[in-house]
Every structure is written in C-alpha cells, then in structure tokens.
Amino acid sequence: MIEHRPDKLEDELCFAIYSAQKRYSKFYSESLKPFELTYSQYITLLVLWEEKRPLLVKEVGERLGLDTGTLTPMLRRMEKKGWLTRSQGQDDGRRVYIELTPKGLDAETPIKDAVESCFSHVNMNEEEYKQSVAKISQIAEFLEANNRLLSQR
C-alpha cells in the first residue's frame, strides 16, 4: 500500500501512464503511417491475425476493451480500405462477424516488420520488455478490479 501522495505531477503514476501512452501512440503512428492505419486499427488486425478465424464484433471489442459504438465506425473504415469484411450471422442477423481479406492477411508480415524495426531503436532488452509488459498488465488488472468495485457502489 502506498503511504504517501506525490507532491509533483511527474511523480504521479497516472501521469506517467498517460505520458507513456501518448508517446507510444506517436511511436506506433510513425510505424503504421505507410499502411494508413491507426493504432486502434492495428491492434484490431493483431487480434484477427492471432485468432485466424472470423470473429464476432463483440469478441473483438472485449479483447480490445472497446465498446461497439467506438468499434463499429472503425471497422466500417477498415472495410472500406479493404482490410476486412463484415457479415451478419446466418442464424442470427444481429451477430456481426469480421474476417480478414486477402489484403489484411498479406499485410501481417510487412506491418509487423515495420513495427519491429521501430523497436530496434528502443533501449530495452527482451527481459526488460517482458517485465514491463507484466508490470503494466498487473496495474491494468488492479485498476479493472477496482473499477468493478466502484461501479457496484
């Protein structure tokens, strides 16, 4: 348990996360610019590449922590650009599936290579990278658990 409250903005965990997120977005936007992708579109592609099957929009939203109000317009833009297709479920028209197009499938390696090449400039070894991911994931899980408790009040 933290025993003190930071006196300076730079010592606040929330500001450190906010600042890192802004810088990370810029970092990724440079890598993704040649593909005309946003970071949110990129992580959507990551989910589809990982799963290698059509997914319900709801499933993608749950994985990314995005609601359908945010996700649906983004998926429409991705469909217009030829990254994926959207289709209604045959048994239930309310269920919308998304699936990669050949363009989306073929772009996996070049996009991942572009992002990876940017990481070559990050002064962090593999172990530090894994530890950072683990710590940030732990913070995210802690915050999610606390948010659930607060919403029950």
In the chain, where are the structural domains located? 25-120, 123-153
Q: Is the pLDDT of residue 1 over 80?
A: no
Note the pLDDT of residue 29. Answer: 87
Q: What is the pLDDT of residues 39-89, one digit of tens each?
A: 999 999 999 999 999 999 999 999 998 988 999 999 999 999 999 999 987
Print the SS3 string covering the chain: CCCCCCCCHHHCHHHHHHHHHHHHHHHHHHHHHHHCCCHHHHHHHHHHHHHCCCEEHHHHHHHHCCCHHHHHHHHHHHHHCCCEEEEECCCCCCCEEEEECHHHHHCHHHHHHHHHHHHCCCCCCHHHHHHHHHHHHHHHHHHHHHHHHHHCC
Note the pLDDT of residue 57. Answer: 94
**CATH architecture for residues 25-120:** Orthogonal Bundle (1.10)
Q: What is the pLDDT of residues 5-49, one digit of tens each?
A: 778 888 888 898 899 889 888 888 888 999 999 999 999 999 999
Note the pLDDT of residue 110. Answer: 97
Note the pLDDT of residue 97. Answer: 95
Q: What is the pLDDT of residues 88-124, one digit of tens each?
A: 877 877 889 999 999 999 999 999 999 888 777 778 8
